[in-house]
Amino acid sequence: MPENAIAVALILPDLSRSVAEEHLSELEKLIETAGGSVVDRVFAKRPRPDPATYVGSGKAEQLKSLAVNSGAKLIVFDDDLSPAQTRNLEKITEVKVIDRSGLILDIFAGRARSRESRTQVELAQLEYMLPRLTRAWTHLERQAGGIGTRGVGETQLELDRRIIRNRIARLKEDLTKIERIRETQRKSRNAAYSVALVGYTNAGKSTLFNRLTSGSADAADKLFATLDAKSAKAAFDMPRETVIIDTVGFIRKLPHHLVASFRSTMEEAVAADLVLHIIDSSHPQFEDQRAVGEDVLRDLGVKLDRVVEVYNKADRTDAFELRRKNAASVSALTGRNIERLIDIIRDRELENGEVLHLEIPHNDARVIARLHDLAEVYEQRVTDGAMLITAWIPRDALHQFEPYAAASLLKPAKVS
C-alpha cells in the first residue's frame, strides 16, 4: 500500500504561484517514485520562512487537521528544513515530516545497485543524518552508566555521533579507492573517444544511450532510473573507437551531500571528450531544467565548448523551434534526427585529428594494422614497395605515423 502524503511548498516574494505549482508537481512525482501517494497539496505564502516551523504555526496546525482528515502519515516539504523545524513540525502535526533532501536520499537508497552507488548514498545519508540525531534518537540521550563506565563523560548520543563520524571517514576512504579504480578504467579507454550523456532526470538519457549503443539500459519513465555510470561502444561507424557513457540525472535542489558524494560518478562527464546535454523539449519548464544542467556542469568544471545541447522527445513537440547553435533536436524513442546527432559527434571527433598521406613499406604490416585500428582510412593504393594511404589520424596518435608521412600535414579534416 502506498504511504499517504501531503506535499507542501512555501511561496516567497520572488517565486510566482505558477512556478511554485510546477515545483510541487515535481515533488509529487518524487513522492510517487519513493512509493508514496499524494493526498493533498498545500501552499503557504510568507515574506520569509518561519525559523521555528518554516510555514508558521497557523499553517502547521492546518497541516495537522489535513493529516487527520486525509489519513496522511507523512508530510513532505519541497525545501530543506532545519533539524529544529522538523522536530517542531512533528510535535504539532503528530506525523512524520521530511524535506526534499530526505526524500531524494530515500529514492537513491532504493535505487543503488553497485558498490560505488551504495557507498555514495550511505555517505550522503549519514552526513544528512548527523545533525538530526537529536531528533531521531532522543531516547538515547542519557548518561552512559554502569560498572566500567564511570568517568567516561559521554552521553549515548555523543557516542552515536562518534560512531557515525567514524563510519563517514571509512566510507570516504572506500570512495577514494573506488575513484582510483574508475580513473584506471578511464585511462584504459584513452584510445577511445568518449561521449558523456548528462541532463535533468527523466530527460531520456538512457533511451538515447540505448539508441546510440544498441544497449539495454533501464529506460523507464521514472525519476533517477540511472544511478551508476554505464558505458558501451557506439553502434555506428566513427573515425575511431567511440564510447557512450550514461550518467546520473540532475534535479532542482539536489542535496549538496549527494552532489558531493556522487562527484566521482559525474567525473565521467568532466573527463569526456564530448558532453551531450540532454534536455526534454516537451517539458513546460525545459528552460529551467536546461539552466539546472548548465549550473551543475559549470560546478563540475566542464567547459561549454565541449558541450552539445540535445533537445530530446521531438516526437512530442512538432512545433519546437531550435533557436540555439551547436544543438540538435531528436527523438531517442523513435530515432527521429538521430543521424543528424551522429553527424555532430563525428564532426567533433574529426576536429581532434589531422589528415596524413602515408607511405608505409609492406614489411611494416604491424604499422598498417595499427593505422586501421586507430584511424579512418580514406584511400589506399598498393605499389611495389609500399602502401600509399590517406587517413585521418587522432592527434594523440600522430607521432606514431609521422615517420611515414609522404606529404606535409594537412589542416584538420572538414566533413560536409
Q: What is the CATH number of domain 190-349?
A: 3.40.50.300
pLDDT at 209: 93
Q: Would you list the DSSP string of 169-237?
A: HHHHHHHHHHHHHHHHHHHHTTTSEEEEEEEBTTSSHHHHHHHHHT------SSTT---S-EEEE-SS-
Domain extents in the chain: 3-98, 111-185, 190-349, 354-404
Tens of pLDDT, residue by residue over 382-391, are: 988 898 999 8
Grid-cell match 551547436, residue found: 326
Q: Is the pLDDT of residue 153 over 50?
A: no
Q: Let me know if the fold of 3-98 is the same as that of 190-349.
A: yes
Is 149's pLDDT higher than 60? no
> Is 358 in contact with 405 (CB distance < 8 Å)?
yes
Task: In whole angstroms, give the CA distance from residue 270 to residue 339.
Answer: 25
Least confident stretch, 1-10, 81-90, 111-120, 370-379: 111-120
Q: pLDDT, tens digit, for every residue of 398-410?
A: 999 988 987 544 4
The H or E element spanning position 260 is helix 256-261
Please say if the pLDDT value at position 350 is more than 50: yes
pLDDT exceeds 70 at position 318: no
pTM, two decimal places: 0.74
Helix (H, G, I), strand (E, B), or coil: what is residue 128?
A: helix
The share of the chain scoring above pLDDT 70, in percent, equals 82
Q: What rounded mean pLDDT belongs to the chain? A: 82
Measure the CA angle with vertex 274, ends 118 and 109; round to 5°.
Answer: 15
CATH code of domain 3-98 = 3.40.50.11060
pLDDT at residue 6 tops 70: yes
Rounded alpha-carbon distances, angstroms, from residue 413 to 311, 354, 369, 376:
27, 6, 22, 11
Among 198-212, 265-279, 346-360, 365-379, which is the least confidently predicted range? Answer: 265-279
Q: How many CA atoms lie within 13 A of 299 on its CB side?
A: 13
